[in-house]
Structure 1
């Protein structure tokens, strides 16, 4: 028996070291990909009314066209609803958080609930950014109604920053977007608008059929690794999303990687995000709502999500992974 106890005492610290080694904070991810520029989205030091919240955001978040695109009346800086349930290793778990409200029956990105805005990365770099990381903490109401799913913040890029969402497809020269979605029972995924090459959407798998963790739909975005991680109500968790553009533009070596609570949850390394050098990474895409485009996605009670600690890292070096020339999809 003494020998068994001794063996256990030796294995426990080894197991803990292995777990610690697999944890990758955002700063380490940024260093791995030479994302040397960074910015933290400022938050106020006290809670605010809706009108003051709108004023603070438009004054401090470097928004595209200096405005909240949708849902300005559904954002408020409030006290942390879950002060005793921080994300693992959170370095800033005090102060107000951003509450987003989704009223009963709300769905889509219109003015029925949720919010949408683009925070442009403000930098003095003379070169466009070709890789970007966004990290933030998120919490959902206790008893959150997942229904069929909804959108969550991610990244956006390209010269046409109004495109690549809402069914407006990416053609390789206009734009891209990579948001998150929650799905039924809180399943998580990356939801991307990128060109539909045969590398990511084989011709035989162009409808709602999963292939290699990807679900393609000609009308909407592409679901990547649905269920590879999950959201939980009533507690904070940290999301970190990396996008590295393919280089050269005709090669499918773009990278999309997601970490949940500093643990890698998914990665896709064969994505053609662009077909032209005119497409670049632009900034944080705060886009959150139930849906989906009809009321089958809508909650039957008012729901809230909460956000804090938005930070963006950026670099000028695109993907350097070795891949073959992208295979264009035929119709």
Structure 2
């Protein structure tokens, strides 16, 4: 028995050289990445109808341009639909109203499906954040049809608050965005509008587009579960120097590391810092084949942000010309996350 357990620990040591960083809750991640400033998005103490939900968000969420960008009619604060199904790694279950977002039948894209808003968070001296963690919980209806894919909240930054979405490309000085996406059968990824230098698109962990749309990062490295709460924690560390591709994106799913990419260039201009939470969620995709056939809902709660004015300190390549092309994806991060999960399960069966 002990010999078998030792074998499992040896496997873990092989696939996860830094075990403490493979499983971590959001406060632990904030400490690991020296993100010493934090804030949370306020939620009401009682359920709110659509009109009251709009008023609550506009008055208390520090919105860009003072308004909900799109989908204001698709929201309400409702009772927790899954009070007995917390995220698998949670030690406690939150109570209180949650944000319900409706995705209407037959609709796709940010203009008619879901919700889009930008909640700004500034440093105390207005110097701008250069590293940030956003963490939240998301749940989907038990019969949620993921169809071909859709967007989920993440982070954005830069002087252009409207670009880096919908085919408006990132050029290194206008903006960047890093959202999550679900794909077919609930496969997860980070979906980023960022420059793609140093032949990055030949790396099988990245799936690039030729038409100005975003880059899929480590597609399938985790999968969402419907009918329960899912915890996601997304870390962005901007590249520094500006001519070095040492930016980082990290994603933990239910407190287990799913991906970590460290060769990114978010910016070529110091005008780009991280602006805050981009609550952008909708089906799509650019045509009706992405749309749900009936009204469906996602639910959100426990939005927290942790930040630092320090950028990435990783070693990286000097930036060369950008290269964009579509390629076949094979995610080494997915293999790593799966191996960790299997090892944990094996250990549990032995003890």
TM-score of the superposed pair, with normalisation by structure 2: 0.86
Equivalent positions of 1:62-211 (< 5 A) are 62-87=62-87, 88-89=89-90, 91=92, 93-110=94-111, 112-202=112-202, 211=203
- Structure 1 residue corresponding to 2:304, chosen from 295, 311, 316: 311
1:208 match: none
Q: Does 1:212 align with 2:194?
A: no
- Structure 1 residue corresponding to 2:270, chosen from 277, 288, 305: 277
1:206 match: none
Q: 1:10 to 1:256 in 2, by over 3 A?
A: closer
Aligned partner of residue 108 in structure 1, secondary structure: coil
User: How far apart in 2 are the matches of 1:315 and 1:253?
Assistant: 17
Superimposed CA distance per residue, residues 268-294 of structure 1 (whole angstroms, 9 cap, x where no aligned partner): 100011011111100000000000111
User: How far apart in 2 are the matches of 1:134 and 1:262?
Assistant: 13
Q: 1:251 to 1:97 in 2, by over 3 A?
A: same
2:333 match: none
1:264 match: 257
Size of the aligned set, in residue pairs, is 316
2:231 match: 238
CA contact (8 A) 1:62 1:122 kept: no
Q: 1:13 to 1:294 in 2, by over 3 A?
A: closer
Equivalent positions of 1:24-63 (< 5 A) are 24-63=24-63
User: How far apart in 1 are the matches of 2:4 and 2:154?
Assistant: 43
Q: Does 1:329 align with 2:322?
A: yes
1:293 match: 286
Higher mean C-alpha deviation, range 31-40 or range 173-182: 31-40
Q: 1:33 to 1:95 in 2, by over 3 A?
A: same
CA contact (8 A) 1:178 1:191 kept: yes
Q: 1:97 to 1:323 in 2, by over 3 A?
A: same
Higher mean C-alpha deviation, range 88-97 or range 254-263: 88-97
User: How far apart in 2 are the matches of 1:269 and 1:91?
Assistant: 32
User: How far apart in 2 are the matches of 1:296 and 1:13?
Assistant: 45
User: How far apart in 2 are the matches of 1:53 and 1:90?
Assistant: 29
TM-score of the superposed pair, with normalisation by structure 1: 0.91
2:220 match: 227
The Cα shift of 1:123 comes to 3.8
- Structure 2 residue corresponding to 1:248, chosen from 208, 219, 241: 241
Q: Please give the root-mean-square deviation of Cα atoms over the aligned residues, in Å.
A: 2.2
The Cα shift of 1:126 comes to 3.8
Aligned partner of residue 52 in structure 2, secondary structure: helix
* Structure 2 stretches lacking a partner, 5+ long: 325-351
Aligned partner of residue 255 in structure 1, secondary structure: strand
User: How far apart in 1 are the matches of 2:123 and 2:323?
Assistant: 39
User: How far apart in 2 are the matches of 1:14 and 1:216?
Assistant: 37
2:295 match: 302
The Cα shift of 1:90 comes to 5.1
